[in-house]
Structure 1
Amino acid sequence: MRFFRFAHDSAFWRTLALSVCVASMPLASPAEPSHAIAMYGEPALGPGFTHLPYTNPDAPKGGTIRLSESGTFDSLNPWILMGNPVWPIFTQPGLLTESLMMRSIDEPFTLYGLLAESVETDDARSWVEFTLRPDARFSDGSPVTVDDVMWSYETLGTKGHPRYTSVWAKVEKMEQTGPRSVRFTFNTADRELAMLMGMRPILKKAQWEGRDFDKSGLMVPIGSGPYVIDKVDAGRAITFRRNPDYWGRDLAVNRGLHNFDVIRYDYFGDSSAMFEAFKAGETDMWRELVAARWERDFDFPAVREGRIVKSEIGNERPSGIMGLVMNTRNPVFADWRVRQAMIEAFNYQFMNMTLTGGKDARITSYFSNSDLAMQPGPATGREAELLAPFARDLLPGTLDGYTLPPGGDRAIDRKGIRAALEHLREAGWTVQNGELRNAQGQPFAFEILLNQSGSAMRSSAEVRQIVNIFVESLRNLGIRPQVTMLDTAQYVERTNNYQFDMTWYERGLSLSPGNEQMLYWGSAGVKATGTKNWMGMDSPAAEAMIAEMGRATSDEDFHAAVRALDRVLTAGRYVIPVSTPRISRLAHRANLHYPEKTPLYGDWPGFMPETWWQEERK
């Protein structure tokens, strides 16, 4: 499953998706339908729970919250690869459409019934069966039926985004087993599949009859969620209005959630424009991702006068990966020594001090900041056993341990430059008359592709500043890359088709990695378009570790598989990582509040605006 990491707005969530979890409890054997399902062990909340622990069941309803997005949109269908969609429909769980089960963000991976009143599976999780609630309704008042569920799953699995089609191939059979029940039988031994089948959006079949589902457009989709789309200003704004007749408002899983009457998203050219709009009072919340700015740039009148407050929210999730990714489909970056040279030339210490004041920690591996991260030094125990069959093909540092070079405190890191030149020499590149060339005299040339609207985690200006410093460093190696800025539509088109040499890359990872990892790192993504395997990696070892994660029946085996995968990814030297905040820094209107209990995932999909409410301070 996948989950979306946060940024200034829900656009941040586009870089994530719902994943599988692990808990250190023995495997349970459901003997009958249950209200919930956990990847391992029992759900934390029993069938009689009254509300999720990170919500305020007494939160008042009402008010409006104005949020922001960067870029633009041309589609209200986020479930396909085509188009530039309104991401809040997809990235805010349960906003417009709902799934059979709902995830708790206070547990690594537990699902509670939403559209489904119960779930049942066998010990091996070779099948899973869901029973719909009899009162489940779409916003137009029509019932949610098994026919809607089966149509949604088959349509998403055959015409939807690759995140759906890749999992659908593992479904052997889908069948209606009762008036309100549907069963999925799997053709692959993968314990996560029983969970994944509970997390697909359920759409109204009748609305799509006679229409091309795989075409983007601005048709307003009918969902069963607490909100309906009220207004659409194409490319500029979208407004969601709380449905007063929402069928699920009294469910325990919803108590304390969906408190605002209106949620509005305004679109801006880039994050700099978004921040200025926030300062001017045009939007109500800002996520600050740079510690130095958090301390430096929030001394404007609304803050001094108490109309804006600053909140810091912790979490226990992995760092994920963020930085400049190298496309190994380009022969220049196919050699790991060249990629290591790029990492050596990227003077991280100077970069971090210049941009963040050295306040934020560096990403040291894909799962850093969590107990899923690879440990320093050589692989040991089960982790080493899993990697042993692939030892001959693993890159240096995978088994023995890999550490990123620290860089220096000056603009030119001479030690890093010397190391980079040595790696390039070994790969057949030398400086000739001030320019890096190979034995055939061909120059070392590549393009750095950037989105002029920035990214979910960094503004366009920040990314460009990072790239400018890096480009200056590369000049010491005789390399002069071309930097190309594109609008969002062009950028998405090129990255979906891997038409770049190097670009900015962000991939959020959760405490419950699973099948989505194959979409991120699987070899099918070398050629199949629309995956997140932007680096073009083709690693049997990585795919074996992902498969092992799905087969694991214990906490220890799961951790070993993820840590082994983390080693393969990090030592693959595909991304030049930067720093990332370890907390969420949210500046918001003083009359916006959130519960005292912080969920395990912190500021994560399902937290803001779902758990927040509006109330004047007493």
Structure 2
Amino acid sequence: MRIFKIPNKSAIKRRFLRIFAVVSTVAAMPLTSLAEPAHGIAMYGEPALPAGFESLPYANPQAPKGGTIRLAEPGGFDSLKPWVLKGNAAWGVGVHLAETLMYRSLDEPFTLYGLLAESVETDSERSWVEFTLRPEARFSDGSPVTVEDVIWSYQTLGTQGHPRYHGAWSKVETIEQTGERKLRLTFNTKDRELPMLMGLRPVLKKAQWEGKDFAQSGLEAPIGSGPYVVDRVDPGRSITFRRNPDYWGKDLPLNRGLHNLDVIRYDYFGDANAMFEAFKAGEVDIWRELSSRKWETEFNFPRITSGQALKAEIPNQRPSGIIGLVMNSRNPLFADWRVRQAMIEAFNFQFINNTLNGGVDPRITSYFSNSALAMQPGPAEGRERELLEPFAEQLLPGTLEGYALPEGNDRALDRPGLRRALALLEEAGWTVQDGRMADANGRPLSFEILLNQSGSAMRTASETQQIVDIYTEALRHLGITPRVTLLDAAQFVERTNNFQFDMTWFERGLSLSPGNEQLLYWGAAGVEQPGSRNWMGMDSPAAEAMIEAMVNAESDEDFTAAVRALDRVLTAGRHVIPVSFSPNSRLAHSAKLHYPERKTLYGDWPGFLPETWWQEAEK
């Protein structure tokens, strides 16, 4: 069976020319140069683990099975479909139920090993990829995972699923079944990351969803092939997953030491304060502390002092990502980079960091801080500059020359920063009139700061509120009085999905192998696309060119240069007012729970907790 995306006449002509060229080339090639199936694939070089490896290096194959882990999430949920835009899906469904053809190792920048697929094959140009399914792969109802399920899942996610799936799918020319357990995807765009991305698409059971409107949210429990099944659902309040004793992949080397807990339960709370109190009372087993000051001063409650719960710090070598207040440049006010820089100048980071964190955590100085991918101080040089030079006239000041955030000072009022902000605003046509900042027509400079009352993955609601309170007080000295709006989680998701905000709290985690997902974060297509992650409304040909250079780099040197160049475009774009980050995750956990001593490159990252954890039996 061969399935084509509908082509136009020029596409048909290109296809026949390409087929002719490929056939001619292959005929002239020695057989030894053809691609061969492999157990894994790396973005650069070869996978670190050989075929037939015993287990992932950071897993504990001797970990006992059994026990329960209780986790906490803020807000609520009204859907069990994390693959569509509509609804607020429960956390864990996409993690514990659905599997992908390949599995990502946390110990390498970007390497995949076969999960549902026993092998992967691609050519030197990575213009196509072929996967062979494991014959033993099964859904939780006992039915086999078939090539038909995979093709249906890819087509459905690419056309009806969340927008995050659409970009890569648009680069797929054909998807076809090439054998009883084989499928091949051929790409229409030069992009060396595509075979990797296609290995990470969730595979769903076609028979469950066929004939239904897949784009709609819902509380029907998905049938997956993963190690867990949905056990109990209390909509909006809790969801419980139970380990499937008949899980098809439990004996795979890839899974040895993973999925050790019998029960995983997520309880939902109104806010982070309620979550913390539940942990202190022993109703939740894990707490991630985001404040270094609180970590040092407030963890002296009975559960810790009695030894029932322990404190742990888990380091990582991944990029900081970007955390802070994002400005929506769809608003004409923030379309002017001088206004955005003025907002950055008015943000006294040093005072805020000292007040909230005792000054312990470092500031995010660029999107890839804390890694070798971060832009370096001073002007761009070498390959990095070569990539940026064609866009020199479009780039904002500081991109090529070097850009650094203002340091601020340890006093509440940063007068030098406010003076610089005033000068920039005046350049942009704003002046203080009768005590308020206004334009030439007397219209005040006014905007809204939108906050989620449930907090976020990296900051509690109270901390973001404190940051915004200090910041708005500083803005008043400029004659600016923003409106601060606090919304529940569902309303916040609805408004940010539709870009109905001026400024809001923003977080984007970044990996050591950034690629096509960067287009979803910063690409022009996301400016008007509801649900895109491009909250700032960024439209930069330079950024898109750097992303293209990243995904087509054939060496670490070229890749690093492209990422650093992108980092310059993003940071000098002045779209986000960055705050601090921690290079260590601070976890307080039940003393019954354990995790492997060997730390991973990514540290406390999706795939680590609860996948590698286990519970010791009562003594």
Task: State TM-score, norm by structure 2.
Answer: 0.94
SS at match of 2:311: strand
1:487-506 superposed matches below 5 A: 487-506=488-507
Separation (CA, whole Å) in 2 of partners of 1:446 and 1:604: 35
Larger CA deviation: 138-147 vs 204-213: 204-213
Q: Deviations over 1:282-304 (max 9, x none)?
A: 00000111111110110001111
The equivalent residue for 1:269 is 270
Q: Deviations over 1:225-276 (max 9, x none)?
A: 0000000000000000000000000000000000000000000001111000
Separation (CA, whole Å) in 2 of partners of 1:431 and 1:183: 63
1:362-373 superposed matches below 5 A: 362-373=363-374
Separation (CA, whole Å) in 1 of partners of 2:495 and 2:307: 44
Bigger CA radius of gyration: 2
The equivalent residue for 2:91 is 87
Residues 62 and 30 (structure 1 numbering): CA distance in 2 closer, same or farther, change over 3 Å?
farther
Could you tell me which of 59, 62, 70 is aligned with 1:58? 62
Separation (CA, whole Å) in 2 of partners of 1:449 and 1:287: 24
2:83 partner amino acid: W
Residue 171 of structure 1 pairs with residue 172 of structure 2: yes
Separation (CA, whole Å) in 1 of partners of 2:559 and 2:183: 29
1:247 partner amino acid: W
The offset of 1:313, in angstroms, is: 0.5
The equivalent residue for 2:530 is 529
The offset of 1:616, in angstroms, is: 5.1
Aligned length: 588
1:408-423 superposed matches below 5 A: 408-423=409-424
SS at match of 2:69: strand
The equivalent residue for 2:143 is 142
The offset of 1:87, in angstroms, is: 2.3
Separation (CA, whole Å) in 2 of partners of 1:509 and 1:481: 30
Separation (CA, whole Å) in 2 of partners of 1:369 and 1:529: 31
1:198 partner amino acid: G
The equivalent residue for 2:556 is 555
SS at match of 1:392: coil
The offset of 1:393, in angstroms, is: 1.0
Separation (CA, whole Å) in 2 of partners of 1:245 and 1:551: 41
Separation (CA, whole Å) in 2 of partners of 1:148 and 1:254: 22
The equivalent residue for 2:521 is 520
Separation (CA, whole Å) in 2 of partners of 1:228 and 1:315: 31
SS at match of 1:83: coil
Could you tell me which of 64, 70, 74 is aligned with 1:70? 74
1:301 partner amino acid: P
Separation (CA, whole Å) in 2 of partners of 1:481 and 1:610: 43
The offset of 1:136, in angstroms, is: 0.4
Separation (CA, whole Å) in 2 of partners of 1:531 and 1:392: 28
The offset of 1:80, in angstroms, is: 0.5
Q: Deviations over 1:313-362 (max 9, x none)?
A: 11100000000000011011111111011001001000000011111110
The equivalent residue for 2:36 is 32
The offset of 1:210, in angstroms, is: 2.3
The equivalent residue for 1:404 is 405
Separation (CA, whole Å) in 2 of partners of 1:603 and 1:77: 25
Separation (CA, whole Å) in 1 of partners of 2:425 and 2:33: 55
The equivalent residue for 1:17 is none
Larger CA deviation: 483-492 vs 357-366: 483-492
Separation (CA, whole Å) in 2 of partners of 1:188 and 1:304: 58
The equivalent residue for 2:163 is 162
The equivalent residue for 1:343 is 344
Separation (CA, whole Å) in 1 of partners of 2:528 and 2:404: 30
Whether the aligned pair in 2 keeps the contact of 1:30 and 1:120 (CA below 8 Å) is no
Separation (CA, whole Å) in 1 of partners of 2:551 and 2:611: 30
2:276 partner amino acid: F
1:248 partner amino acid: G
Separation (CA, whole Å) in 2 of partners of 1:305 and 1:490: 41
The equivalent residue for 2:52 is 48
Q: Deviations over 1:137-179 (max 9, x none)?
A: 0000000000000000000000001111111000000000000
Separation (CA, whole Å) in 1 of partners of 2:297 and 2:247: 43
Whether the aligned pair in 2 keeps the contact of 1:448 and 1:502 (CA below 8 Å) is yes
The equivalent residue for 2:332 is 331
SS at match of 2:119: strand
Separation (CA, whole Å) in 2 of partners of 1:108 and 1:331: 39
Residue 260 of structure 1 pairs with residue 261 of structure 2: yes
Whether the aligned pair in 2 keeps the contact of 1:290 and 1:581 (CA below 8 Å) is no
The equivalent residue for 2:429 is 428
Separation (CA, whole Å) in 2 of partners of 1:403 and 1:88: 39
SS at match of 1:361: coil
2:403 partner amino acid: Y
Separation (CA, whole Å) in 2 of partners of 1:511 and 1:30: 30
The equivalent residue for 2:195 is 194
SS at match of 1:412: coil
The equivalent residue for 2:539 is 538
In percent, how many aligned pairs have the same letter?
73
SS at match of 1:499: coil
Q: Deviations over 1:180-209 (max 9, x none)?
A: 000000000000001111001110000112
Task: State TM-score, norm by structure 1.
Answer: 0.94
SS at match of 1:349: helix
The offset of 1:31, in angstroms, is: 3.1
Q: Deviations over 1:417-474 (max 9, x none)?
A: 1111011111111101100011111110001111111111111111111101000000
The offset of 1:547, in angstroms, is: 0.5
Separation (CA, whole Å) in 1 of partners of 2:476 and 2:46: 57
Whether the aligned pair in 2 keeps the contact of 1:37 and 1:195 (CA below 8 Å) is yes
Separation (CA, whole Å) in 1 of partners of 2:142 and 2:481: 61
The one of the two structures with greater contact order (alpha-carbon pairs below 8 A, sep at least 6) is 1
Separation (CA, whole Å) in 2 of partners of 1:443 and 1:616: 64
SS at match of 1:490: helix
The offset of 1:617, in angstroms, is: 8.5
The offset of 1:30, in angstroms, is: 7.3
SS at match of 2:82: coil
Separation (CA, whole Å) in 2 of partners of 1:29 and 1:337: 55
Separation (CA, whole Å) in 2 of partners of 1:383 and 1:294: 40
Residue 207 of structure 1 pairs with residue 211 of structure 2: no
1:281 partner amino acid: G
The offset of 1:491, in angstroms, is: 1.0
The equivalent residue for 1:301 is 302
Separation (CA, whole Å) in 2 of partners of 1:248 and 1:48: 15
Separation (CA, whole Å) in 2 of partners of 1:184 and 1:481: 50
The offset of 1:486, in angstroms, is: 1.1
The offset of 1:608, in angstroms, is: 0.6
Structure 1 runs of 4+ aligned residues shifted over 6 Å read none
Whether the aligned pair in 2 keeps the contact of 1:590 and 1:617 (CA below 8 Å) is no
The equivalent residue for 1:313 is 314
Whether the aligned pair in 2 keeps the contact of 1:327 and 1:535 (CA below 8 Å) is yes
2:541 partner amino acid: P
The offset of 1:528, in angstroms, is: 1.1
The equivalent residue for 2:12 is none
The equivalent residue for 1:598 is 599
Separation (CA, whole Å) in 2 of partners of 1:353 and 1:511: 29
Residue 573 of structure 1 pairs with residue 574 of structure 2: yes
SS at match of 1:436: strand
Which runs of 5 or more residues in structure 2 are unaligned?
1-31
Whether the aligned pair in 2 keeps the contact of 1:66 and 1:263 (CA below 8 Å) is yes
Q: Deviations over 1:495-530 (max 9, x none)?
A: 001010000000000001000000000011111111
Which runs of 5 or more residues in structure 1 are unaligned?
1-27
The equivalent residue for 1:609 is 610
